Structure formats: structure tokens, C-alpha cells
Amino acid sequence: MPEITIIDEIVENYNDVKTPLIYILKDVQKEFGYLSDNVLTRVAKKTKIPLSDIYGVATFYSLFTTKEKGKYIIRCCNNAPCHVNGSKEVLDKTKEYLGIDFGETTKDKIFTLEFTSCLGICAVAPVMMVNDDVYGNLTPEKAVAILKDYKLKGTSNV
Ligand code: FES
């Protein structure tokens, strides 16, 4: 189905909702992975909400992203308990293995690397998440082994 049709259908799903923008953006992002300029422009046209307002919402809330991200989003915690337990070494090794810095996506679009604040499981620090999966008691070697598994999964069905 063409991109425009999908967006229009999503917008129409919320015709009866008084303030539908968040719901629309959430569904559109779920569909396309991120909120590109083209997508936001179409949402603006279809909803008749000014594009600047839509950008305001899309860039304000952390659940939205206007940049294309990898298939797997790695979120590394570096708050104090994780830091004390060696997260810096884990982070450095992770960056070295991926060849990217925080906020970046690998060229093959498999991984995006981000920070997260405390995940509330400091007892098993240092900690990272890959999409919805949580990993604790990390060492640099363990982190790389986990990411190698994801890379295998990610390239086997791309
Ligand atoms: S500080 Fe990292 S999980 Fe709490």
C-alpha cells in the first residue's frame, strides 16, 4: 500500500478523537519506524494541523523519533550504580564493536546506540536494554557477545 494511503487511513481512524495528533504520530511511527519529513508533511496536510505544530510534538516527546533508527535499539545505563560497577568499560567496548557513538545508527541499520536513565535494576548493574530485552551483570565481553547474537539475527532476515 502506498505511504500516503497508509497515513491517510491512520488519520481517518482518529476522526472522532478531539486531540488525535499523539495517537496519529504513534501509529505512523509504528508503521514506518520513524517520522520522516515526508510523513509529517502528509500528516499536516491530512489533519490540517500546521506542520510547525506537528514538528513541535514530534520533537518534544522522547517516544517519537524523526531520525531513522536501527532494527535493534541499544540503551545503555550510565547512572551512578551502573557507572560504579563498570558501565564505562562496557560502553566503550560497545561503541568500539559497533563503530558508532551514542545517538548514531550503524550503516547497515541494525543497531542504534542510546543512553537510558536508570532502569531500576541497579542490583545487576551494569545494565543495557536491546529493544525490550534487559541484560545485567555486563562485562565488555558479555555485551559484545550479546550484540553479536543480535547482529546474526538481524542480518539473517534483512
Ligand atoms: S543505575 Fe543503571 S539500572 Fe539503575
The per-residue DSSP string of the chain comes to: --HHHHHHHHHHHTTT-SS-HHHHHHHHHHHHSS--HHHHHHHHHHHT--HHHHHHHHHHSTT--SS---SEEEEEE-SHHHHHTTHHHHHHHHHHHHT--TT-B-TTSSEEEEEE---S-GGG-S-EEETTEEE-S--HHHHHHHHHHHHHHHHHT-
- Domain shared by 77 and 44, yes or no: no
- Domain shared by 12 and 47, yes or no: yes
Q: Give me the average pLDDT of each 10-residue run along the chain (158 residues).
A: 91 94 95 93 96 96 89 94 96 97 93 94 96 96 97 76
- Domain shared by 86 and 146, yes or no: yes
- Domain shared by 56 and 86, yes or no: no
- Domain shared by 50 and 125, yes or no: no
- Domain shared by 108 and 150, yes or no: yes
129 Cβ inside 6 Å of ligand 1: no
Identify which of 114, 119, 129 to mutate to test ligand 1's pocket (most ligand atoms within 8 A of the CB): 119
The domain of 92 spans 72-156
79 Cβ inside 6 Å of ligand 1: yes
Write down the pLDDT at residue 158. 46
- Domains: count for the chain: 2
- Domain shared by 105 and 151, yes or no: yes
CATH code for the domain in which residue 131 is found: 3.40.30.10
Write down the pLDDT at residue 157. 55
Spacing, Cα 117 to ligand 1 middle (Å): 7
